[in-house]
A and B are shown apart, each in its own frame.
Chain A
Amino acid sequence: MSDDKSRDFEVVNHSVPRRDGRAKVSGRAIYVSDVKLAGMAYAKVLRSPYAHATIVSMDTSRAEAHPGVYNVLRGDDLEGLNPYFGHAVKDHPLVAIDKVRYAGEPVAAVIAEDELTAYEALELIHVEYEELPAVMEPQESLAADAPLLHQRQFEAGALRGFEGEVTAGRGTNLCQEHHIKWGDVDEAFANAAAVAEGEYYFPMAYAYAMEPYVAIAEVGDDSVTIYSSAQHPFMVRHDLKTIFDMPVSQIRLIVPFVGGGYGSKSYTKIEPLVSACAWKARRPVKLQLSVEEAMLTTRGDDALTWMRTAVDADGKIIARQAKIYMNTGAYAENSPLVCEKSSNRCVGPYAIPNVQIDNTMVYTNTVPASSFRGFGCAQVTMAGESQIDELAARIGMDPYEFRLHNAARPRQEFFPGMRPFDGTLTEDLKIVADNIGWKEPLPSGHGRSIGCSASDAGAYPLTSTAVRVHADGSASLMIGSTELGQGSHTVLPQIAAEELGIPFDLVRVVSSDTAITPYDRSTGASRTTTLMGRAVQEASREAKEQMVRMAADVLGVEESEIQSVRGGITCGEARLNWSEVLTRYYKLPDGEVIGRAYIRKDKDFAQLPVFWEAASTGIEVSVDEETGKVTMEKLGTCGDVGLAINPALAEGQDIGAATTGMGIGMFEELEFDRNQLLNGNLLEYRLPRFSDMPRTVKLELVQNRDGVGPYGAKGGGEASLNSLPANIANAVYAATGARIRRAPLTPEKVWRAIREARAARGENES
């Protein structure tokens, strides 16, 4: 915001320690996993062994008779509930009804006095299935004779997150399509000086929130209360409203500390199932999934992207075309939005005059796919940034110089109709190039790469808050955003402390309870600092305006005679801090003033995206040609964050995101055989470990205050992931001459590609 461009900050832009530090290092931070309610029962879930089958019959009588079992929830016994949920389309039954659509889908739940009893009773349920042919790949699923997953028709949900229609539920396995076109790609490719073309794969990945999905529900005659490890409690509330046909005022979602999210706890997951269990059992019920079950609940969307990109004789990118097939698995979840976003994110961070993107999101009999950190952008940036290096090689240009030459410029409207670019990619790229020693000589067997991305981030701008300033001069922020570990509940009080002119330690956050905290649409798409941050800033200012009026009242002067200063007011000789203003106004040393703010799609936020999330990443790898093992030796990131409210937290987001990007680039992939998940546990799903980290890590932030958030802030936390898989492919190419277009670049894949590349060059096997 322009009014405070030049001021010095007291609290903001400082790396103050995390507000939740002491609780988290001492074991006293309470997560839903740790919560117990009086009279609470425990649910366990029976899951389908088949990827696609009709449920012919189910006998739960022995389980129901088992000592300690209260009830068994089944799909044919949900009279009184609307059992389908989904914010994009209501295609997802809370427990399988008549059929199952993936191996691992819940078919029944046992509610018992303890977890062990519930487990034991699962064994006593007999289900007879009639197996149906399953479709596991998008192209297979789109065949004319493919078995249909969904027989019902769907309406597009009002909260789907975009304006277009949803194509699901129209008698095919098509979940969503999205098309973008400007210019004339055919003519541009016909006249190109050089073209790169290829097919790229981004794998199914598992977010591994360390705390698996967990929720506790209590259902009364006219109320539903749920404790959940959920990112978007207000979105979950909306799904529950339909399931129970209750006004939102009667539905309460409470989110304590969350053990990791990374998008995987976005939207509604197990809350409908656990609340149906509580409704059935007429007592509070806890459902704690295992990691193996979490892996059967949500994954990231995989994408097969055919892409071609053209340059003219000056090395300017003149056209890009892509055809993308994505796989949402058995249910739509957030994949319609992932489809739209991955289409949009094929373009940036370059200004390209001729573009055509055709994207198809398909249902298959695999685990449902939904949001995972960087969604849409990560998938297509594997293609886009790989292709930039391939194209640079084709025209004999340094891939770093090629990016500088083509990157979108500040304030350039590189995506027609969207917000002009609010970052400085060339600056980001230069910082990373310097930090990884781009021009320096490399040891043999090493390779470097640099990359960048720009995502239309921030999701839909609908956020509100209340800032309560108390008569003792402390303040409470009523925050509907969830603290997932990203540090929002440290950043937001920094903003309030800055605005109110009071010490940081006096500002507390009341967090994520839909019955108490004002509405915030979601915690994702890197939006909280920008949107909730602005809301906190505006609400703090509104509280100050009210306190200025109160001061005028108690001093018996006109408002215009009052000067607002840091932490209070002055009027002539008089100086009152906020505590004195409130105490004199209420004639008691107690009471409060409530400042409010409502952010909507208007004014600064009228044009989407809320901001472009941009970053540059660079790496150096070494490749062991005998084993194919890739080691990351150096990592540089540069987050283009406008202003870092808390620089240490912002850098923490970048290194965290880059590490997950490295995991997907090097080892992470959920693999299916014909119809079963093969590596659905942490012994076989390989995550980044301590020893995988590069010994040289340089994190930087560019802070040009060019965002619409408070003091010019923008979000971060995804962009450093997005370019990493392509970084790895490009660095391996630089080290070995082997071009690999499918992530992850596992040792086996790299070993084979090196040998194929040698053979193609006519070299003998060494």
Chain B
Amino acid sequence: MELRFELNGRDVAVECEPQQTLSEVLRNRLNLTGAKISCEVQVCGACTVLVDGLPVSSCTYLAYEAQGRTVTTIEGLEDRDRTLHPIQQCFIDEFAFQCGFCTPGMILSAKALLDDNPDPTDDEIIHHMDGNLCRCTGYVPILKAIRKAVAVMKEARG
């Protein structure tokens, strides 16, 4: 079947099988390997991408469900002039990753939260991020990075 959707601001059309997952299409057909595959049962969040702004586990989300929708992957977060999204920059500033395998999913989950709720409490951040696992950092630096991104984005809005 032909699958058409908006990917990181551009229209794409790609042939896919009905049983293929979005991560298979992104990683194998479209050569976007930022979404990582780990648990394959929607527990870890490493494969998180945004569909119409909402986080989904691309390892189990069927590709055809993205038909006509808007998909954002980690590769789509930088500006055209290659400036990092504030969340990406804050993850660097706060040492919010080590191995980096969870990082694309973490950043996209955080983006979904901040797009919806630009000034979350710690409880709201923790509740929202509870579906993203990290085995390296102990989460505390990630919480700090998201808090900092909230402040940076607030200042940018003026």
Contacts and interface: CB of A to CB of B under 8 A. Distances in A.
Interface of A: 15, 17-18, 20-31, 33-34, 207-212, 257-262, 290-291, 484-487, 648-649, 652, 655-656, 658-660, 681-683, 687-691, 693, 695, 697
A655 B92 contact: no
Nearest to B107: A25
A361 B34 CA distance: 42
Contact of A258 (B36, B99, B102): B99
Interface string B68-102: 00000111011000001000110111010111111
Contacts of A17: 92-93, 95
Contacts, number: 157
29 contacts: A17-B95, A18-B95, A20-B100, A25-B91, A25-B92, A25-B107, A26-B75, A26-B78, A28-B34, A33-B33, A207-B135, A210-B38, A210-B46, A210-B135, A258-B99, A290-B40, A291-B40, A484-B99, A485-B98, A485-B99, A648-B95, A652-B95, A655-B138, A655-B141, A682-B133, A683-B41, A690-B132, A690-B139, A697-B138
A215 to B, nearest CB: 16
Given A487-B98, A697-B140, A21 B43 contact: no
Given A210-B99, A655-B138, 19 more contacts: A22-B84, A25-B104, A27-B34, A31-B101, A209-B99, A209-B135, A211-B99, A260-B136, A290-B40, A291-B38, A291-B39, A485-B99, A652-B136, A656-B98, A656-B137, A683-B41, A687-B135, A689-B139, A690-B139
A695 B121 CA distance: 13
A687 B133 contact: yes
Contact of B135 (A26, A30, A34, A260): A260
A259 B99 contact: yes
A18 B96 CA distance: 10
Nearest to B122: A695
Nearest to A487: B98
Interface of B: 27, 32-41, 43-44, 46, 73-75, 77-78, 84, 88-89, 91-93, 95, 97-104, 107, 122, 126-127, 129-130, 132-143
A714 to B, nearest CB: 19
Contacts of B104: 25, 27
A667 to B, nearest CB: 13
A691 B77 CA distance: 27
Contacts of B41: 681-683
A681 B36 CA distance: 17
B107 to A, nearest CB: 6
B92 A22 contact: yes
B38 A212 contact: yes
Nearest to B101: A259
B101 A659 contact: no
Task: Tell me what chain A mostly uses at the interface: helix, strand, loop, or mixed.
Answer: loop
Contacts of B32: 27
Nearest to A660: B135
A27 B73 contact: yes
A27 B33 contact: yes
Contacts of A484: 98-99
Ranked 7 nearest A-B pairs via Cβ: A27-B34, A485-B99, A485-B98, A24-B100, A259-B101, A659-B138, A27-B74
B100 A29 contact: yes
Contacts of A23: 100
A20 B99 CA distance: 9
A649 B75 contact: no
A210 B101 contact: yes
Contacts of A693: 126, 138-140, 143
Nearest to B141: A652
Contacts of A691: 126-127, 130
A26 B34 contact: yes
Most buried by A among B35, B75, B126: B126
B92 A18 contact: yes
A656 B96 CA distance: 11
Contacts of B127: 691
B140 A260 contact: no
Contacts of A28: 34, 75
Contacts of B135: 207-210, 260, 262, 656, 660, 687
A502 to B, nearest CB: 22
B97 A25 contact: yes
Contact of A211 (B92, B98, B101, B130): B101
Contact of B98 (A25, A26, A290, A486): A486
Nearest to B100: A24
B33 A30 contact: yes
Nearest to B37: A33
A20 B95 CA distance: 11
Contacts of B43: 682-683
Contact of A485 (B27, B97, B126): B97
Contacts of B75: 26-28
A25 B103 contact: yes
Contact of B133 (A20, A262, A649, A689): A689
B43 to A, nearest CB: 4
Q: Which among B37, B100, B132, B142 has the greatest number of chain A C-beta atoms within 10 A?
A: B100
B92 A210 contact: no
B125 to A, nearest CB: 8
Given A25-B92, A690-B132, A210 B44 contact: yes
A656 B40 CA distance: 23
A33 B59 CA distance: 14
B34 A257 contact: no
Contacts of B138: 655-656, 658-659, 688, 693, 697
A208 B39 CA distance: 10
A261 B136 CA distance: 9
A30 B36 CA distance: 10
Nearest to A288: B37
Contact of A257 (B37, B40, B100): B100
Contacts of A33: 33, 36-37
B100 A485 contact: yes
Contacts of B141: 652, 655
Contact of B136 (A31, A485, A683): A485
Contacts of B143: 690, 693
